[in-house]
Amino acid sequence: MIKGSLDDITDVARLGIEERRSLCRSLAASLGDGWSAGEPTEDLDALPLVHQPTGLAFVVVPGGAFEMGLTEEDVAELRACMGDAWNDDIAANLARDAASLGPVRRVQVSPFLVARSYLQAKEVERLSGGRFQGDYCYRLGWADARQLAASHGFRLASEAELEWLARDGGRSAFTLDAARRLEEIGGDSELLRSRFGVLDLFETQWAEDDYHPSYEGAPDTSAPWRSGAGTGVARGLSRPEYVEEPHQITGLLAALRTNETQREATLRFARDLPSLG
């Protein structure tokens, strides 16, 4: 029952609060020493856990399938949101950028464990043993971010996992549906909630994957894609707070990514789940 529930987000969404409490306890037990169950809430599909050795809050993200990359539906929704502001220049710029956001492929996301938030400066300083210090040390280079995660038994979230989170389980063209809800939230990203209980999805953050210039030859799973340029790829390139002109909502598209020119970004720990039978 546990495995079936986690393989499909729609199954988790049907669970009652007591079923999710039980599932959290089973998950904590399967992960072993150092893990404890958090308290699920009625208004989220989140499955919270706590990792005592690092002091970090995590959630288990159920899996599912989605179209990864910039889809025709994404572009149609962008155009509808922009209305009269849409023009040939924007279409041309998007077409140019789309080369790195395709070909679109269907990805099967496996359930995974991810930190609720990216690491704050004080957490980076503490977990790195003081190697990184200062108010801005929460932004690291890709190699340092991967090394820090691995030193505590984790990895970074994969690019597919980060897009799954941004699309809120495959149901949104924009990160947490931000562009469509922009007027409703008044530009305040804090009013947008992930169904998974994950925070800070608008922050630029590293993926575990190597950078590849496109998705040619990419796997159809959510596992990190290696054997690339040996440099990182980052997600989360804009925030609702930065949108002052209609064309700027393009930066909220869930499929957007940036390449190795990104020098520093935030990081959040992730890991695969053990077999739950």
The tens digit of pLDDT for each residue in 25-54 reads 999 999 999 999 999 988 777 899 999 999
Q: How far apart are CA 75 and CA 10, in angstroms?
A: 26
pLDDT band at 126 (very low <50, low <70, confident <90, very high): very high
Sign of CA dihedral 59, 208, 271, 171: positive
What are phi and psi for residue 106, nearest 5 degrees?
-85, 125
Does residue 205 lie within any of the structural domains? yes
Does residue 11 lie within any of the structural domains? no
Is residue 4 predicted with pLDDT exceeding 70?
no
Does residue 264 lie within any of the structural domains? yes
Does residue 143 lie within any of the structural domains? yes
Does residue 25 lie within any of the structural domains? no
**Model-wide pTM > 0.85:** yes
Q: How far apart are CA 260 and CA 143, in angstroms?
A: 11
Does residue 177 lie within any of the structural domains? yes
Is there a contact between 180 and 156 (Cβ–Cβ < 8 Å)?
no
- Determine the 3-state secondary structure of 127 from DSSP: helix
- What is the mean pLDDT of the segment spanning 135-150? 97
Residue 230's domain comprises 65-106+116-272
pLDDT of residue 230: 83
Number of structural domains (the chain) is 1
Q: pLDDT tens digit string along 100-109?
A: 999 999 999 9
Whether the bond into 246 is cis, omega within 30 of 0: no
Does residue 22 lie within any of the structural domains? no
DSSP state of 266: B
Proportion of the chain in helix, strand, coil states, percent, rounded to 5 = 35, 20, 45
Range with lowest mean pLDDT among 79-83, 218-222, 244-248, 257-261 = 257-261
pLDDT of residue 45: 79
pLDDT of residue 85: 92
pLDDT band at 1 (very low <50, low <70, confident <90, very high): very low
Q: pLDDT tens digit string along 178-236?
A: 999 999 998 899 999 999 999 999 999 999 999 999 999 999 999 999 988 788 999 99
Is there a contact between 138 and 106 (Cβ–Cβ < 8 Å)?
no
Is there a contact between 50 and 58 (Cβ–Cβ < 8 Å)?
yes
- What is the mean pLDDT of the segment spanning 133-146? 96
pLDDT band at 260 (very low <50, low <70, confident <90, very high): low
Mean pLDDT of the chain: 93
Position 46, amino acid:
A
Does residue 246 lie within any of the structural domains? yes
Of residues 106 and 97, more confidently modeled: 106
